[in-house]
Amino acid sequence: MHVGVSGAGKRANSRQRRRRSLGGSGDGIGRSRGTCRSWHSWSTCDGSIYAFLPAANRFFFFPSPSSPRRQRIVLLFPVNRFFIKKEFPCDEYYTSIMSYNTAAEVDKAHATVTETFRSNATKDLTWRRTQLRKLWWLLQDNKERIADALKQDLNKHRQESVLVDVVGIQAACLEALANLKKWTADEKPRRTDPLNLVGGAVIRREPKGVSLIISAWNYPFMELLEPLIVAIAAGCAVVLKPSELAPASQDLLVEIVPKYLDSSAIQIVTAGPKDMDHLLSKKWAHIFFTGSTGVGKIIYAKAVENLSTVTLELGGRGPAIVTANANIDLSAKRIANTKFMNSGQVCVGVNHIFVDPKVKKPFIEALKKYFDQFLSGEESEPSYCTRIVNDKNYGRLEALLEKSKGTVIYGGDRNPKTRYWGPTIVDNVTTDDSLLTEELFGPILPIIEATLQEAIDYTAAHDHPLSLYGFTDSKVEREAILNQTNSGGVTFNDCLLHMLVKDAPFGGVGPSGMGAYHGIWGFNEFTHFRTVVTVPFWMDLILGYRYAPYSDSKLSKIITFQGHKTSVPFDREGRDTGFFGGWFSKF
């Protein structure tokens, strides 16, 4: 479409007048992005935004999230004396025009926190306590804005967003405050050892140093701020990198983090996929990443260049195994609830279900019943349902479902314009189906008919998942699942709850991640355990025989001092030789 330049000028002038009449600042988009330059923007009554970027000589139209035009961005750009109109999918073009921090800005952020860490400011317990308290208030003061951002990014209902991305983080913050002295206290190794006793040996818990935290988009606040809590508690300086795929959440974080936290020690930067190489090339003491296994491998490879330690919270194809000894109705309810949550975009979600042939039919009927309840009987798109994050992931799910040889027996309702995708049960799925080729991370639920042993064999033969769910009242079956499989964590007869256990680690194994966090376990990820011993000068009276010239006599004295044993209560075949058959042996 061609528009005469004079007409475009009139429209632009009228828009400028409208912006002034609305009291717009003229740089709203620039502020919200954090790094965009010289945007002029104004809003319409439905929440849509018009914008002009003088540097690029471009007009943009960003539809409101509630607008039926939400999936398109309109671009007007001048060619000779005309303006050419083009439309682009939001996900495709929104990402391409988004401005991230420059390499120089990333360098400055890294240099700033490095200098602060070297000053030892972050090691002070008062500083750590103050930052944790401020972080709690950051969440409290911005609770509604966080919920609004998640509504904009994913259409999350407040019951999901506030519970996880506000209240849950605040609880982690208070836990760190309550245990800060305990976590940071020196540890004294056993005093029965002579050197430990005389040398006053201690293990100091010291911060690793300047750390990078990279979050995913499905829980953009929790996955960024919970690791930050333990990094602060450990005394580290931190650079935060929120996910660019949740832009409203990213923008809010960019705005509020510097307002509440010490920006000399805690910086936040934005980066797209093409910018990550430079960010990862900086020297980090520790990198904490939450995201996909594929990206996790890239980050791990980059970390090796500087020998940075890493925590990788990944995912995997977590199965639910439903045996004939399960409570079928309750199992279906709890699995359906997990799959409904965040539209299945959960790293500890149920990827697929193995169900015993004896109970398959009633189990599927129960699944359908509970999905009907969760949808409130609405035929269209319930307002409280989370949407698929972007067009790319929506298309990925469609491609996987199209290739599947299974049968959709429930749901499948979806809308590409809004990215709504209702719960979808796919029956008659085999282990070589397209739906089992990768982590689904969506509302599709494949059903595989299998005995317990078949389910165990398949799970054990493939990548270890982050979570595994077994549904059975049989202790023998639970032991079989535990003994013959491996996973980050296990919940029996429910889902997700193993990650809520207090004072316990949450993390993956192998392709589902490395390292763990939550409470003290996360603190330990950012902590270096430094052994210190102070040897008094008079110890030479006892240890003088360690110096050259060497002799067999000196060797015998050293062995005796170290408490070396030459007699043990077991033979060369590993059999007990003691009088009580090894009952009281610690070996």
Q: Tell whether 293 and 147 lie within a shared domain.
A: yes
Question: Which helix H or strand E contains 477, and what residues bound it?
Answer: helix 475-484
Neighbours of 409 (CB within 10 A): 15
Is residue 531, in this structure, part of any structural domain at all?
A: no
In order of 6, 78, 429, the CA distances from 163 in angstroms are 52, 47, 34
d(CA 177, CA 233): 8
CA dihedral 154, 159, 160, 165 (to 10 degrees): 100
pLDDT in tens, 214-235: 999 999 999 999 999 999 999 9
Q: Are 246 and 252 in contact (CB under 8 A)?
A: no
Q: Tell whether 297 and 398 lie within a shared domain.
A: no
pLDDT in tens, 425-440: 999 999 999 999 999 9
Residue 353 has pLDDT above 80, yes or no: yes
Is residue 42, in this structure, part of any structural domain at all?
A: no
Q: What is the DSSP letter of 493?
A: S
Average pLDDT over residues 470-499: 98
Look up the pTM and report it.
0.84
Q: Tell whether 309 and 394 lie within a shared domain.
A: no
Q: Are 154 and 342 in contact (CB under 8 A)?
A: yes
**DSSP string for 336-397:** HHHHHGGGG--TTS--EEEE-TTTHHHHHHHHHHHHHHHTTT-SS--TTSPPPS-HHHHHHH
H runs (alpha helix) in 185-327: 194-198, 222-234, 247-260, 276-281, 293-305
State what percent of residues in the chain have pLDDT above 70. 81
Q: Tell whether 329 and 418 lie within a shared domain.
A: yes
Closest CA to 516 of 308, 322, 290: 290
Is residue 423, in this structure, part of any structural domain at all?
A: yes
pLDDT in tens, 58-91: 455 555 544 444 445 555 545 444 445 555 555 4
- Whether 495 is catalytic is no
Average pLDDT over residues 321-334: 98
DSSP bridge pairs for 162? none
Residues 313, 381, 439, 525: which is the catalytic one? 313
Q: Tell whether 277 and 406 lie within a shared domain.
A: no
Q: Tell whether 332 and 310 lie within a shared domain.
A: no
Q: What is the structure's pLDDT at 34?
A: 38
In order of 155, 187, 413, 422, the CA distances from 418 in angstroms are 10, 55, 12, 12
Residues 347, 439, 495, 525: which is the catalytic one? 347
Q: Tell whether 419 and 288 lie within a shared domain.
A: no
The residue out of 504, 527, 551 marking a domain boundary is: 504
In order of 335, 390, 421, the CA distances from 67 in angstroms are 33, 16, 18
Q: Tell whether 286 and 372 lie within a shared domain.
A: no
DSSP bridge pairs for 481? none
pLDDT in tens, 104-114: 999 999 999 99
Q: Tell whether 272 and 416 lie within a shared domain.
A: no
CATH code of residue 224:
3.40.605.10
The residue out of 279, 314, 349 marking a domain boundary is: 314
Average pLDDT over residues 173-192: 97
Is residue 92, in this structure, part of any structural domain at all?
A: no
Burial of 149 (0-12, 13-18, 19+ CB in 10 A): buried
Q: Are 423 and 436 in contact (CB under 8 A)?
A: no
Q: What is the DSSP letter of 570?
A: B
d(CA 98, CA 272): 9
Is residue 556, in this structure, part of any structural domain at all?
A: no
- What is the residue-averaged pLDDT of the chain? 87
Is residue 149, in this structure, part of any structural domain at all?
A: yes
Q: Tell whether 108 and 251 lie within a shared domain.
A: yes
Q: Tell whether 162 and 288 lie within a shared domain.
A: yes
pLDDT in tens, 512-556: 999 999 999 999 999 999 999 999 999 888 888 899 999 999 999
Sign of CA dihedral 312, 523, 250, 315: positive
- Whether 347 is catalytic is yes
Q: Return the structure tokens found at 317.
A: 């194809």
C-alpha neighbours within 13 Å on the C-beta side of residue 584: 3
Which has more confidence, 51 or 450?
A: 450
Q: Tell whether 277 and 357 lie within a shared domain.
A: no
Q: Residues near 483 by Cβ (< 8 Å), separated by ≥ 6? A: none
The residue out of 472, 504, 536 marking a domain boundary is: 504
Closest CA to 498 of 462, 456, 469, 455: 469
Q: Residues near 100 by Cβ (< 8 Å), separated by ≥ 6? A: 35, 244, 269, 270, 271, 272, 275
Is residue 302, in this structure, part of any structural domain at all?
A: yes
Closest CA to 448 of 439, 460, 465, 435: 435
Q: What is the structure's pLDDT at 48?
A: 55
Is residue 53, in this structure, part of any structural domain at all?
A: no
Strand, helix or coil for residue 506: strand
Crossing angle of helices 168-184 and 125-141, rounded to 10° = 170
Residue 57 has pLDDT above 60, yes or no: no
Structural domains in the chain (count): 2
Q: Residue 353: which domain range?
A: 319-504
State what percent of residues in the chain have pLDDT above 90. 75
CATH code of residue 396:
3.40.309.10
Q: What is the structure's pLDDT at 29?
A: 34
